[in-house]
Structure 1
Amino acid sequence: MSTVGEADGPPIFKSVSSSARQLFQLLNCIRFAPKAQVQISPEGIRFAVEESRVMQGIVFLDKALFTTFNCTLPDPEPAADDADAEAPDLPNFQVSLAALLETLQIFGAADPTNARFLKSENDGYSSNIRPGRPNAFSNQALGMAGICRLSYAGIGSPFSIILEESGVTTTCNLNTYEPENPEEIPFQRDAMQVKIIMQARWLFDAVSELSATSPTRLDITAYPAAPYLSLSAVGPLGSASVEFAKGRELLETFTVAEKWAQSYKFEMIKSAAEAMRLASKVSVRGDEQGVLSLQFMVEVEGGGISFVDFRFVPFIRGEDDEEEDEEEGSEEDEYGDEEDLL
């Protein structure tokens, strides 16, 4: 990686956010990995994590989330034998995700009373009059929301975080590591087989219900006709399934050309539970290779919108899966006979 900045010069990146809480909530959605790959661009900051090349989570913090955002990339040195100027390399490094989250919640960014779906049912003011909004006694209304400053000087420099709240200032310098540059899990947009947009809380409720059986595998099946979308969990304690009817109240967008069925490790899907809980909507997409894409739309403070993306690689189908498919095929034949009788 070419040099993009020097530690003793002005920082190539610095930004100011009026709330560390929204940064924490977004990054907390991808905390399943110890380190995060960070890439800074003039459009925002991209945090990416992956596990064993079969699961990937990406959070993009758009520059609109910050009150000030400045990314100054130095001009690349022109090559003597090349008249075309090369684009400057974007700052790219790794940081400890656990340390970053601990830093952002020093002043209580993870207060559960501010988390969605965790409000007290007895809190009539918060739940009935102003649901999900800061009240007159919140830190934001009282001018105590605090300030979060981020900066990065260049290769070898730490990722600096300065938190200011109620006259207290905390400075944290996180060590940066050489990037691994893992390849993204490919998703074939031109060969998309399934596209479903629904409320994220419906998916969260379904995964929560299925987790009661301690499953090891999650089967996702989409049909052009009823039952439309089915989630089935299989584990040592038994099996369970949840079906979604096609309708604007449950499935806002539903595009399925033909039956699409894939299996995934349940713990991987469960790793996206925080994003399911926090987001307002989710786009469920699947390509012909079986790669599952979950894109969550998260509403942040101030009326902004951010997106959290997950991609999952399906189980490789073997002889056991083929036997199960034969059993499912026989069940579908019986089901088809019942349909003919109705």
Structure 2
Amino acid sequence: MASNRPVFSAVSSSARQLLMLLRCISFAKKAHVRISAEGIRFSTEEGSVVEAFIFLEKALFSSYAYHPPPPPSSQDNPPDPPTFEINLTSLLETLNIFSLSDPNATKRPGDYDNFASHRLNRHAGINAFSNHALGMTGVCTFNYDGEGSPLSIHMSESGVTTTCDLTTYEADSAEEIPFARDSLAIKTIMRSTYLLDAVTELSSLTPAHLTLVASPTSRPGADMSLSAAGALGSATVDFTADTSSETPILETFYCPNKVSASFKFGLFKHAQRAMAVATKVSLRLDEDGVLSLQFLVEVGASSGGGGGEGGEGCAFVDFRMVPLVEGEGELDGADAGGEGTDSD
């Protein structure tokens, strides 16, 4: 490189905030990372049937600097933003070093079925990203020198410091799951806790798959429902956009024609962490049956150098899920013997 300065460097005043966000997509061991002038993007996927990604914009950092590598010559186009893969499990363990006092810190990524403490904190007015919940945390510095270099993380809290160099790997050229934003069969927004409660209730049946059904509001009955069946029976959770209530379950709802799609239940379990920490969720289904869940997570934006102006900010965690083909759900249910897919 022509300069000694790193391609990317950033400082966060709250390592636990980053930890909580990245845990939302921690169903896979490796994460694809893309760095740009606007922020850093992490994504995970499993079997080309589910993918999740989160974009940490530079305003979430107290300082953020991106210096793209120069082209080989003045006639060449600027190089693409750096992309690489890292071991996400190792990154989470690094960010968790100063979180040993957090009761959730010792839980394995899959052990997230009990949300009682989350609900108590929510009703008590404690946001998962508030200073009270985070305990005003350690400073975390990221550095990346360029292709082949490790992602270096330096953390400091109360005079204790630690540095970790995470090996970076060449990123696979896997394509994202296509989602037709301009051809939607369903679009709705609701509080994320409503979706979490529904998935948690249905999970007690140990189902193999979950079915989403929606109908236009002009028809009687529920506007949207989630149903599942397992060895212990079957259940359906209904959602309505009835505006006669001061707090309708579905805040917005669009569904021109009746539609139904089924998914492996384990895919929804992958998203339970995001459901637990998010404020709202935008649920969209395109005409091919691909499901998009976009979670709005309220966070404290850093003040200073990163472009933020302090106060409350937000981050979005996105999931895309591929539906089961006709008959696949029945076969999965028979093979599973009523057991749902594990999240790990």
TM over 0.5: yes
Alignment of 1:33-52 (within 5 A): 33-52=28-47
Q: What displacement does 1:119 show?
A: 5.5
| Alignment size in residue pairs | 303
The answer to whether 1:74 aligns with 2:69 is: yes
1:152 aligned partner, one-letter code: Y
Determine helix, strand or coil for the equivalent of 1:213: coil
Q: What displacement does 1:87 show?
A: 3.2
- The equivalent of 1:100 in structure 2 is 91
Partners of 2:52 and 2:266 lie apart in 1 by 14
Percent same amino acid among aligned pairs? 48
The one of 305, 308, 314 equivalent to 2:317 is 308
Q: Is contact 1:20–1:109 with CA below 8 Å preserved after alignment?
A: no
The answer to whether 1:207 aligns with 2:206 is: no
- The equivalent of 2:237 in structure 1 is 242
Q: What displacement does 1:313 show?
A: 0.3
The one of 79, 96, 120 equivalent to 1:88 is 79
List runs of 5+ in structure 1 lacking aligned partners.
322-342
Partners of 1:37 and 1:243 lie apart in 2 by 36
Q: What displacement does 1:318 show?
A: 3.5
Determine helix, strand or coil for the equivalent of 1:190: coil
Q: Is contact 1:210–1:233 with CA below 8 Å preserved after alignment?
A: yes
1:314 aligned partner, one-letter code: P
Partners of 1:38 and 1:320 lie apart in 2 by 33
Partners of 1:308 and 1:201 lie apart in 2 by 15
- The equivalent of 1:286 in structure 2 is 285
Alignment of 1:112-131 (within 5 A): 112=103, 118=117, 128=124, 131=126
Q: Is contact 1:33–1:97 with CA below 8 Å preserved after alignment?
A: yes
Partners of 1:250 and 1:186 lie apart in 2 by 28
Q: What displacement does 1:112 show?
A: 3.8
Coordinate RMSD, CA, aligned: 2.5
Q: Is contact 1:34–1:97 with CA below 8 Å preserved after alignment?
A: yes
List runs of 5+ in structure 2 lacking aligned partners.
106-111, 301-310, 331-344
The answer to whether 1:192 aligns with 2:188 is: no
The one of 20, 27, 41 equivalent to 1:25 is 20
**TM-score, structure 2 normalization:** 0.82
2:139 aligned partner, one-letter code: I
Determine helix, strand or coil for the equivalent of 1:253: strand
- The equivalent of 2:334 in structure 1 is none
Partners of 1:107 and 1:40 lie apart in 2 by 25
Q: What displacement does 1:138 show?
A: 7.2
- The equivalent of 1:266 in structure 2 is 265
2:296 aligned partner, one-letter code: M
The answer to whether 1:170 aligns with 2:167 is: no
**TM-score, structure 1 normalization:** 0.82
Partners of 1:181 and 1:138 lie apart in 2 by 36
- The equivalent of 2:109 in structure 1 is none
Higher-helix-fraction structure: 1
Which of the pair has the greater relative contact order for Cα pairs under 8 Å at 6+ separation? 2
Q: Note the alpha carbon deviations across 1:92-113, whole angstroms, 9 max, x for none.
A: 1000000000000100078247
Q: Is contact 1:25–1:110 with CA below 8 Å preserved after alignment?
A: no
Partners of 1:127 and 1:305 lie apart in 2 by 20
2:58 aligned partner, one-letter code: K
Compare 263-272 and 248-257 and name the one that shifted more. Answer: 248-257
Q: Note the alpha carbon deviations across 1:108-132, whole angstroms, 9 max, x for none.
A: 07824799962595x9xx965x543
Partners of 2:22 and 2:103 lie apart in 1 by 16
Determine helix, strand or coil for the equivalent of 1:26: helix
2:215 aligned partner, one-letter code: Y
